Chains A and B, each alone.
Chain A
Amino acid sequence: MTMNAALIRAILRIIGASLVSLVFVTIAVFFITAVLPGDVADALLGQAATPDAVAALRHSLNLDKPVLVRFVIWVNGLLHGDFGVSLISRRPVLAMASERLIHSLLLAGVTALFAVPVALVLGTASAIFRNTLFDRAVSLLTLCVVSVPEFLVATLAVFIFSVQLHLLPSLASISDIHSIGSFLASFSMPVTTLACVIVGQMSRMTRAVMIDALGSSWVEMAVLKGASPAHIILRHVIPNVIAPLFNVIALSLSYLLGGVVIVESVFHYPGIASLMVDSVAARDIPLVQICALIFCAAYLFLTTLADIVALLSSQRRHAA
């Protein structure tokens, strides 16, 4: 039908827009990192470098060519799966990034597994018991969590669980995981911290979505039909909020990416974010580039997903 065709066109437009954004990001990442003041070759070889060595290195890094040529070479490499080698370790950055990426995905996945249900229940409960002591307490707590920088939450978690209670180790390390116990111990701090941040964001958004639905005329009508609160939530509210809630989840998971950077650094977790922070400090440009690209791609994927879900739900509401 024409309506479906229009819908598919709208979805394709969203996907197209995010592909454009991805291209934009790729170009931006390259050019910002390519116009570095000072020469990387100098920095790499240090004070003792002979002019010949510098020239050779510059040549091997293509630094003697104009920026546009380097961009073409770089993009060509990207298209052929060649993302370059690290300036420091000389290993292919793709391999370095992908082994770290798995760790990060594990962290993010476990966090999402915890955070999403907790946040949905918390947000829904706050909406139902709106303006009660419970709601005010949850609101205050989540407001605090979303206001302060992520590292503060991490620091507080270390202070409470490691320093005060001696419950958990403060540093995460994947390599010495031998049992489920040590897995949980090394994972729990970063996951707890990250989950706090995400739950704060997500439960606030969930509350807003639920309050919107609970304030509708059809909920009032259900009350006047004699329906119980449980019946109203399950039968009337849930079918109407599924789509907006999916949007909330996708958006929250994209926030999670920002949190990952801090949490991995604080807990020395060997994920892709800490790799990126290290490579920024070391000015290892190819590594920065690929990490940035991976992050942006993940972020774009999630926001695009959120946009599409939002479109689908608004489509239904428009039809209504």
Chain B
Amino acid sequence: MTVASLTRRWAAIPRIPGALILFWLLLAVIGPLLAPFAPGEVVSRTVFAPISAHHILGTDYLGRDVLTRLLCGTSSTVLLCAAATLLACTGGVFLGMIAALKQGVTDTLLSRFMDGVISIPSLLSALVAVAAFGSSVPVLVLAMSLIYMPGSYRTSRMLALSVARRDFVLAARMRGEKAGYIVLREILPNMTGPVMADVGLRFIYSVRLLSNLSFLGVGLQPPMTDLGSLTRENLLGLVYGAPAVIAPALTIAVLTVGLNLALDSNRREPG
């Protein structure tokens, strides 16, 4: 592979959405290290304290430092969802490619199974899974990755099918190329952009799902915390307009809306 091919493949990845995801991942990793207090530590006697020099985002319903908890919550939301998305999309793309290239029975069986999974609303599947296995990090990540795998599968199967139908893949087949070469050099490079955009979308979906679950109280359990449960536990602060509730809610909004806006502008103006 020449340098030109490599740079071209990089260029296919949506730039602004990619940078945004990198920023959030970075924040998730180093954020908790920057936290001024320990996440569970009660540091103030006033609850729902407003913004002050000592507590930049005030205190929560127990008098804990909101900034600290927000950094930890953001970290767990982003990392959990990133892990789930990675699992979902790796599995989805892999199975989607297999279905598109093998066709026949493999394709039918896989597609039927994925249709079955997708025919349950995502929140409902998550609720059933939590009811059965309890709410723990592995259960949540696995459930979310299973829930979003069919979407990724469908997208990559369609993409792979449309690329595989193009004449240059036919030309490679007529030359007698092996399946591995065709997938890696002819098909995958032409799917990179759309697949990456799809990964971004699945990430947004999983943030929504996890936050919804935690808000309902069946997501991440204390002492762990995420953005949804932070909003839930401080909901009473809404009456006072406390930063304890506004900050996590705003963070979710900035995370999801920002990424979706970036993906949207990318869709409208490809390249």
- A and B assemble together: yes
Chain A residues packing against B (C-beta within 8 Å): 17-18, 20-22, 24-25, 28-29, 32-33, 35-37, 139-140, 143-144, 146-152, 155-156, 158-159, 163, 254, 257-258, 261-262, 265, 276-277, 279-281, 283, 285, 288, 292, 295-296, 299-300, 303
Whether A300 contacts B119 by the Cβ 8 Å rule is yes
Q: What is the interface of chain B mostly: helix, strand, loop, or mixed?
A: helix
Whether A143 contacts B131 by the Cβ 8 Å rule is no
7 intermolecular pairs with C-beta atoms under 8 Å apart = A21-B116, A149-B209, A262-B123, A276-B124, A288-B131, A292-B127, A295-B121
B-side interface size class: 35 or more
Q: Does B41 make an interface contact (CB < 8 A)? A: no
Whether A261 contacts B124 by the Cβ 8 Å rule is yes
Whether B119 contacts A25 by the Cβ 8 Å rule is yes
Whether B112 contacts A20 by the Cβ 8 Å rule is yes
Q: Across the two chains, which residue of chain B brings its CB closest to A35?
A: B132
Whether A148 contacts B208 by the Cβ 8 Å rule is yes
A155 partner, pick from B130, B217, B235, beta carbons under 8 A: B235
Kindly list 14 other residue pairs between chains A and B, CB separation below 8 angstroms, not including A25-B116, A149-B228.
A18-B119, A21-B115, A25-B120, A29-B128, A149-B252, A151-B211, A152-B211, A155-B249, A257-B124, A258-B121, A262-B123, A277-B216, A283-B131, A288-B131
Chain B residues packing against A (C-beta within 8 Å): 112, 115-116, 119-124, 127-134, 204, 207-209, 211-212, 215-218, 228, 231, 235, 238-239, 241, 245, 249, 252-253, 256-257, 259-261, 264
Which 4 pairs, one residue from A and one from B, show the smallest C-beta to C-beta distance? A24-B116, A147-B256, A147-B260, A21-B119
Residues of B within 8 A of A265 (CB): 216
Residues of A within 8 A of B215 (CB): 149, 151, 262
Give the interface centre of A17, A140, A147, A158 by most chain B CB atoms within 10 Å: A147
Give the interface centre of B131, B216, B218, B231 by most chain A CB atoms within 10 Å: B131
Q: How far is the CB of A119 from chain B (nearest CB, A)?
A: 18
Q: How far is the CA of A268 from the CA of B216 in the complex (A)?
A: 11
Q: How far is the CB of A99 from chain B (nearest CB, A)?
A: 20
Residues of B within 8 A of A257 (CB): 121, 124
Given contacts A150-B212, A292-B124, contact A37 B133 (CB under 8 A): yes
Q: What is the interface of chain A mostly: helix, strand, loop, or mixed?
A: helix
Residues of B within 8 A of A146 (CB): 260
Q: Across the two chains, which residue of chain A brings its CB closest to B217?
A: A281
Residues of B within 8 A of A296 (CB): 119-121, 124
Whether B124 contacts A36 by the Cβ 8 Å rule is no
B124 partner, pick from A20, A21, A149, A295, beta carbons under 8 A: A295
Q: How far is the CA of A150 from the CA of B132 in the complex (A)?
A: 24
Q: How far is the CA of A295 from the CA of B211 in the complex (A)?
A: 21
Whether A281 contacts B208 by the Cβ 8 Å rule is no
Whether A292 contacts B128 by the Cβ 8 Å rule is yes
Residues of B within 8 A of A254 (CB): 121
Given contacts A32-B129, A33-B128, A36-B132, contact A258 B123 (CB under 8 A): yes
Residues of A within 8 A of B216 (CB): 151, 261-262, 265, 277
